[in-house]
Amino acid sequence: MILSVENVSLAFGGVKALREVSFDVKEHEIRAIIGPNGAGKSSMLNVLNGVYHPQQGTIRFQEKTFKDMDPHEAAALGIARTFQNIALFKGMTVLDNIMTGRNLKMRCNFVQQAFWAGPARREELAHRRAVEEIIDFLEIQHIRRTPVGRLPYGLQKRVELGRALAAEPRMLLLDEPMAGMNLEEKQDMCRFVLDVNEQFGTTIVLIEHDMGVVMDISDRVVVLDYGKKIADGTPDEVRNDQKVIDAYLGVTH
């Protein structure tokens, strides 16, 4: 069990985004969080990553328990993520964006960097090598020097995945990685997600609306509706659960 969410509740003023949600994630698995719009999925991811602090409940990640974690503490612990509305650095190239994902692994201070020759140069080249491997993996070599702002949406999402991978995370949080993609792009993205899971053993928690994708690639699924967990199990179990069907069809309850 790499991650365990216990009784997490989150509210914004009067709006209850999450109500006593509990679930766990096994190491090396692909866990999907699904639910109708407004169910609290992104909020849940934000809690896992330290962007939001729940009023109630705890999160246990790799033996460490916490409630009030900062995002960069989460990053230091090995949790990386992508965002629903691409949070890339639009003024920088693809290569530079992915290199920023290595920032926690860089040890040289700014004085060494200013003088370049020696430790700073060695470190930069070593990390460049690692990043190039990710670029190869994601098949984006041809755009490595393009400013990210000029890329089409699908490629930007891929670069964002690259940046998250550059951190060599233990757990990867993906917020709607396939949103806005056509069929081919989705297939590519699925392949990358599966490869990451298989080759690097990274645990993956993803939010996704495309049911086909969810059923195909995830090991287990959590279903949220109005901030509450209404189902938890394998894709097949969840697909046939009446409560889930009702939630999506909008049956009042």
Partner 1 sequence: MLYREAGQFKSTYAEDQRIFPIRQDRIAFWLLMLVAFVAVPLVGNQYWLGAMLTPFLIFALAALGLNILTGYAGQLSLGTAAFMAVGAFMAYNFVLRMPWLGIIPSFILAGLCAAAVGIVFGLPSLRIKGFYLAVATLACQFFVLWALQRFGWFTNYSSSGVVTAQNIVILGVPFDTPARKYVFTLAVVAVMALLAKNLMRSETGRAFMAVRDMDVAASVIGIPMMKTKLLAFAISSFYCGVAGALHAFCYLGTVEPEAYSLDLSFRILFMIIIGGVGSILGAFLGSAFITLFPIFLSIASGWVSHLSGVEISHATISNLELIIFGGLIIFFLIVEPNGLARLWQIAKEKLRLWPFPH
Partner 2 sequence: MPIEVVFFIEVLAGGLLAGVMYALVALGFVLIYKASGVFNFAQGAMVFFAALTFVSLVERGWNFWLALLVTLAVMVVLGLATERVVLRPLVNQAQITLFMATIGLTFVLEGLSQLIWGSQPHGLELGIPDVPMEWLSQKWNINISQFDLFAAFIAGMLVAVLAVFFQRTRIGRALRAVADDHQAALAVGIPLQHIWAIVWAVAGFVALVAGLMWGVRNGVQFALTFVALKALPVLLIGGFESIPGAIIGGLIIGATEKLAEVYVGPYVGGGIESWFAYVVALLFLLVRPEGLFGEKHIDRV
Pick between residue 82 and residue 202 the one whose CB is nearest to partner 2. 82
Which of partner 2, partner 1, none does residue 72 bind (CB under 5 to 8 Å by kind)? partner 1
Interface residue list for partner 2 (CB under 8 A): 46, 51, 83, 85, 87
Which of partner 1, partner 2, none does residue 88 bind (CB under 5 to 8 Å by kind)? partner 1
Contact 59, 45 (CB under 8 A): no
Task: Give every strand in the sheet of 15-25, ordered side by side.
Answer: 15-25, 3-12, 56-61, 64-66
Contact 172, 205 (CB under 8 A): yes
- Cβ 90 to partner 2 shortest distance, Å: 11
Q: Is 91 near partner 1 (CB under 8 A)?
A: yes
Burial class (CB in 10 A: 0-12, 13-18, 19+), 4: middle
Q: Which of residues 32-51 bind partner 1 (CB under 8 A)?
A: 49, 51
CA distances, 5 to each of 59, 81, 96 (Å): 5, 17, 34
Please choose, out of 55-63, 110-118, 188-196, 221-229, the segment that lies near partner 1 by the rule CB under 8 A.
Answer: 110-118
Pick between residue 140 and residue 164 the one whose CB is nearest to partner 1. 164
- Cβ 149 to partner 2 shortest distance, Å: 12
Find how far residue 168's CA is from the centre of its chain: 12
Q: Is 81 near partner 1 (CB under 8 A)?
A: yes
Find, among 249, 228, 196, 163, the residue nearest to 33 by Cα.
228
> What are the structure tokens assigned to 95, written together?
């290569």
> What are the structure tokens assigned to 109, written together?
């201070």
> What are the structure tokens assigned to 229, written together?
């967990």
Pick between residue 51 and residue 215 the one whose CB is nearest to partner 2. 51
Please choose, out of 23-31, 59-67, 89-97, 221-229, the segment that lies near partner 1 by the rule CB under 8 A.
Answer: 89-97
- Cβ 84 to partner 2 shortest distance, Å: 8
**Dist. CA 140–CA 155, nearest whole Å:** 8
- Cβ 184 to partner 1 shortest distance, Å: 27
Pick between residue 83 and residue 192 the one whose CB is nearest to partner 2. 83
Residue-by-residue DSSP string for 198-214: III--EEEEE---HHHH
Which of partner 1, partner 2, none does residue 85 bind (CB under 5 to 8 Å by kind)? partner 2
Pick between residue 12 and residue 110 the one whose CB is nearest to partner 2. 12
* First-to-last C-alpha distance (Å) of the chain: 33
Judged by DSSP in three states, 108 sits in coil
- Cβ 89 to partner 1 shortest distance, Å: 4
Contacting residues toward partner 1, per CB under 8 A? 49, 51, 71-72, 75-76, 80-81, 83, 87-92, 96, 99-104, 106, 108, 110, 113-116, 120-121, 124-125, 128-129, 132, 163-164, 167
